[in-house]
Amino acid sequence: MRTQMLPVGGNGSAEKLVRILFNHSHAYSSSECYFRNKEGFQHEGDVVIGVFFPVHTFYAGNKVPHPYLPYIYTDFRIQYNFKIYQLVLSLVFAIEEINRNPHLLPNISLGFDFYNVPYSERSILMNPLIWLTGLKNPYCNYNCVKERKSAAALTGPSWAKSAHIGTLLQLFNFPQLTVGPFDPIFSDRGQFTSLYQMAPKGTSLSLAMVSLMLHFGWTWVGLLVPDDHRGAQFLSDIREKMEKNQVCTAFVEMMQSSGASFPDKYWKTLGIIQESLANIIIIYGDNDSLQGLMRNLGQHILTRKVWVMTSQCDVTNIADYFLLDSFHGSLIFSQHHEQVAEFKNFIQTVNPYKYPEDNYLPKLWFLFFKCSFSELDCHLLENCHPNASLELLPKHIFDMAMNADSYNTYKAVYIVAHSLHEMSLQQAQMQPFRNGQKMVFLPWQLHPFLRNIHEGANMALEWKQKLDDDKYDILNFWNFPKGIGLKVKVGNFLPNGPQSQQLTLSEQMIQWPERYSEIPQSVCHENCGPGFRKISLAGKSVCCYDCTPCPDNEISNETGMDQCMKCPENHYAETEKKHCLKKAVSFLNHEDPLGMSLTTIALCFSVLTTVVLGLFVKHRDTPIVKANNRTLSYTLLITLTVCFLCSLLFIGRPNTTTCILQQITFGGAFTVALATVLAKAITVLIAFKVTFPNKVVRLLIISKAPNLIIPICTLVHLVLCGIWLGTSPPYLDKDAHAEHGHIILVCNKGSDFAFHGILGYLCSLALGSYIMAFLSRNLPDTFNEAKFLSFSMLVFFCVWVTFLPVYHSTKGKVMVAMEVFSILASSAALLGFVFAPKCYIILVRPDKNSIHHIRNRPYSRRNNPLKT
């Protein structure tokens, strides 16, 4: 099968980028040397570490069976994973660094035995058994290793392969250190008694991811997790965090581990991903559990989705770098680890001639630097580019920076070295070594020292990273320019920091998928904007809702508000319901059109009443003025002037004084006016209707006894007002609800009972006056005003009876205006009905206002006792 190569020119630049099969998995059928791969190699040392990593594996493309051998295929191909090979290089780097250190394991060199771990589960234990027994065809009952130099085994990064190997190693109580992601199943000391995990626990991963969702407002996300115990645990953790923060899952897909195959489950999952409104998809797992899914996601170029994943789910393992477009803009959570500065320098010096025992470096040079193999012994020839180096490879093929698994490998080697160092010091104290004598131990004797250092007892080690230090770096995957495959740190998450400072992001550095010109959105429903609130939908997730405007006098000044906020009493919600504005203080002002109109009417009527009074005074000796008791006419006119003017107390900014004066002046003036009309009506009735002797009638009229009605009625009114003011007087009040956006200053009556009692008293006076006037309407007097008095009282009564329901159905300035209008209307009725006919006669028909005219009338009485 053909693969691509990355030739390097003389200037160190890539001339062309070629196809790579699977997971940086490179398959060749044209070169026999490429397939001649030993299952392991050694780095000599006094004490060695057994290393088991899945760097390469053989697989059958079309599974063409061998004609004679069962279970053997003729179309075998080889698959390399150079990302895992970086772990081998970090192992070599750590061992060389330790061997150069005179203070750590002095006079003892550290080495390793590397063995490849095949992909097939049935072959996983083969190489560990070979290493343990020393036999090419191992038997568990035999051990051909005469002098064991092995201290511990290093496995990973796959948890499944580590678990398989662990079941074998614990039979020998052999120390095992794993460098893959932390797995809670390995913490079971009853099942894995000899296993130590290098990775931090990663308990804050779900919190870190949810914090990222909240930061960008992503509330509708999809989940892709492996269908195993790790996926179930992660799903439980992240769902708990999401529910607490109202982040919802659009879908959850549990994925079966499948290498190169693409079962129907993947087709279904791809359909769900493409149709979902969720633009953010969380992927949890590692390459073993999700490699088939990741490869096929890349093939479908899903450029409108943002993938949030862990560093173990490495997207740069996609075979064809053109498929990396699907993952451009992805956000990757990587457990924070220290960067070892010298590691890059070490990688720059690595080449096949420096490490001839390494059988993987020649493959890299063959693939990427145009090197060729000798046909005789498959050694690499000297026709390679002299400046060839791993640093020239694109980052999506080989990254110079130490990743989390590489750092855990580096750390594991140091833990073993320090444990051996502590053991050697203890042995030297108990029995000093003789010249040339080396440390002798059994692997299980290393456990106490491993536990002591692994659990953090030796805190003096500068390289030691606390296992509970659960920090995360947030990386952004860049694939623009195409094929760059770069991971750039754009933030971090510190679970132990203050909540507002846990997540730190440099948003300007983040590159999103090409279709997004700004931060992508991932919501079930667009956020409710200011002025709206959410309403939940029956049977739907809390993230799926409708938006409805805020109720009256409530606002929402942010997006995504669950409830609107009620404005304070002295504020109101503006039209868009986004802000509360301070209410303007308002009242029936003289400058308002309504206030100005009422003021003008009141002044005009008061001036008119004064003119009428002047006219009556000028013609005081004429029959029409004298005929109806001119003193009462003067009193009524003066009182009506006061009635018109008292309406001005209701207009303008009110205060406590004006509130009290309004009711006293209004009630008092109308009491006098109605009492005067009552006195007039009784005077006419006494003169014509009573059956007393003429002397008694004349005495009553001459003594002006009916005029006593005025002070009596006024005294009753003053008593009622005294009771009112003594119990619950009127006061200044604010009405914040009568008019939108305004606080209306109004006078509160204090006691509604007292106010209505005064109105009832005035209406009773009006009713009495109406009855008296009605009884004397047809009396044969020349200037009988009884009819006009009855009409005026009828209008007065109708005005105030109508006033009550209208008054109670209005609020604010309109209510005050209604009271002013009722005062003016009832006063104008008295003025018009009582005095307009008299003014007409005085001004227009003066001929009727003479003694001669009165005597010539057929219904004139000879004796007119009404003149005063």
pLDDT of the residue at 801: 82
Q: Which residue has the tokens 């309406």?
A: 647
Question: 832 CB contacts (<8 Å, ≥6 apart)?
Answer: 792
Q: CA 124, CA 133: separation in Å to the nearest integer?
A: 15
> Distances in Å between the alpha carbon of 121 and those of 227, 253, 647?
18, 25, 103
Cβ atoms 221, 282 nearer than 8 A: yes
Q: Splitting the chain (868 residues) into consecutive groups of 10 residues, what average pLDDT does each group show?
A: 31 29 35 69 92 83 72 72 89 95 91 88 83 73 65 90 91 91 84 88 90 93 89 92 92 73 63 86 80 68 82 63 73 88 91 87 83 74 78 80 90 93 84 66 89 58 47 88 80 88 92 89 88 87 89 88 88 88 85 88 92 88 76 87 89 88 85 84 67 53 66 88 88 81 84 85 83 69 67 81 80 84 88 85 77 54 41
* Helix (H) / strand (E) containing 716: helix 709-727
Tokens of 726: 């003594």
Closest alpha carbon to 427 in 442, 416, 415, 412: 442
Closest alpha carbon to 670 in 544, 799, 561, 552: 799
pLDDT of the residue at 765: 83
Closest alpha carbon to 293 in 373, 244, 239, 231: 231
**What SS3 state is found at 866?**
coil
Closest alpha carbon to 288 in 421, 120, 131: 120
Q: Alpha carbon 342 to chain centroid distance?
A: 45
Q: Which residue has the tokens 């990302």?
A: 83
Q: CA 72, CA 330: separation in Å to the nearest integer?
A: 41
pLDDT of the residue at 543: 86
> Distances in Å between the alpha carbon of 171 and those of 158, 383, 522, 636?
21, 49, 51, 124
> Distances in Å between the alpha carbon of 1 and those of 29, 73, 277, 394, 422?
6, 15, 40, 23, 52
Q: CA 441, CA 148: separation in Å to the nearest integer?
A: 9
In Å, the largest CA–CA distance within the chain is: 168
Tokens of 12: 């160190």
- Amino acid found at 349: T
Tokens of 265: 């489950």
Cβ atoms 309, 315 nearer than 8 A: yes
Q: Alpha carbon 362 to chain centroid distance?
A: 55
Q: CA 455, CA 106: separation in Å to the nearest integer?
A: 24
Q: How many CB atoms lie within 10 A of CB 392?
A: 18
Question: 584 CB contacts (<8 Å, ≥6 apart)?
Answer: 741, 742, 743
Cβ atoms 534, 562 nearer than 8 A: yes
pLDDT of the residue at 258: 54
pLDDT of the residue at 261: 45
pLDDT of the residue at 114: 94
Tokens of 609: 């009443």
Specify the pairing of strand 40-43 against strand 110-116. antiparallel
Q: CA 78, CA 313: separation in Å to the nearest integer?
A: 22
Question: 798 CB contacts (<8 Å, ≥6 apart)?
Answer: none
DSSP line for 280-335: EEEE---HHHHHHHHHHHHHTT-TT-EEEEETTS-GGG-SSGGGGGGGTT-EEEEE
